[in-house]
Amino acid sequence: MDEDATSDLSFYNELCHWDGLRNTTQFDLAQNSLESIPREFLEAIPATFFIELLSILEEDDLEYLDPDDEVLTHASFKIDFATPVNGCKGIKVCMSLESVSTNTMEGNMTANLVTYSGMTQSSMRSYSFPIDQSITVRQVLETITNKGLQYFKFGMDLLGNFCGCRDFAVQAFYQLQARGYVDPNVEAVFPEEPPVAANLTAYDVLGTGYNRNGTSFDRPIDKGSFLQYTRVMEPYMKYRR
């Protein structure tokens, strides 16, 4: 039940910085090519790569949870620029449901420009990873879209919740790692408390859930469906068996 992207509309709006279908800071990469993103952002040099587990609940709602209650999360990538570009300091990439108003299972891969660096405020945990600073944001996004990962459908878990964002994230990260663009070893964790285990990798953190107090626990990754991509399965990927 950790990936129900429809459970809170306000979260979905925050996640994708959605203030209307014509928002020029959000780019639909399932329906459009990378050229829909202005060139200056595509040519930006990345400084840091994050995997973020974003809380689906608003802060006021979190206050009603007991410390041991699980917090629903949604996996997202965030890339901080080495130098701000036209007031933007990074770009967020996520796979969310195409529509929160229907029962469609179609995913929607979006790239969203952001005006802040570092951890997203709604993140339960943000993990940073080294990224090749000789490449561009275009090369990162091309690695994902050239493989067809943007064509995705969410699945349904045993509790009737939509699931699949972590499936997308695992496969996208794997392709970036295969190109030598990212290192899978966690560089830093935000917030630092409560402490997490040492020597974590991207695949470890994507197989993790969180309680209200920030304590992590193993949460196997439920699968969606890739329409134009064959999923890679490795023993270190924390899929539900």
pLDDT at residue 191, as a whole number: 92
Percent residues over pLDDT 90 in the chain: 64
pLDDT at residue 103, rounded to an integer: 57
pTM, 2 dp: 0.85
- Which neighbouring-strand residues pair with 22? none
pLDDT tens by residue, 183-234: 999 999 999 988 999 999 999 999 998 877 777 888 899 999 999 999 999 9
Tens-level pLDDT at each residue, the chain (241 residues): 344 444 443 444 444 443 333 345 899 999 999 999 999 999 999 999 999 998 864 444 444 344 445 667 889 999 999 999 999 999 999 998 876 545 568 899 999 999 999 999 888 899 999 999 999 999 999 999 999 999 999 998 777 778 899 999 999 999 999 999 999 999 999 999 889 999 999 999 999 988 777 778 888 999 999 999 999 999 999 999 7
Dist. CA 7–CA 162, nearest whole Å = 9
Q: What is the pLDDT of residue 109?
A: 96
| Distances in whole angstroms, Cα of residue 143 to Cα of each of 11, 99, 121, 129, 181 | 28, 25, 27, 17, 9
Q: How far apart are CA 175 and CA 145, in angstroms?
A: 10
Nearest CA to 223 out of 144, 176, 166 is that of 166
Rounded to an integer, what distance in angstroms lies between the CA atom of residue 78 and that of residue 85? Answer: 15
Q: Give pLDDT, residue 214.
A: 72
Strand partners for 201? 185
Domain boundaries, the chain: 9-226
Residue 224's pLDDT is what? 95
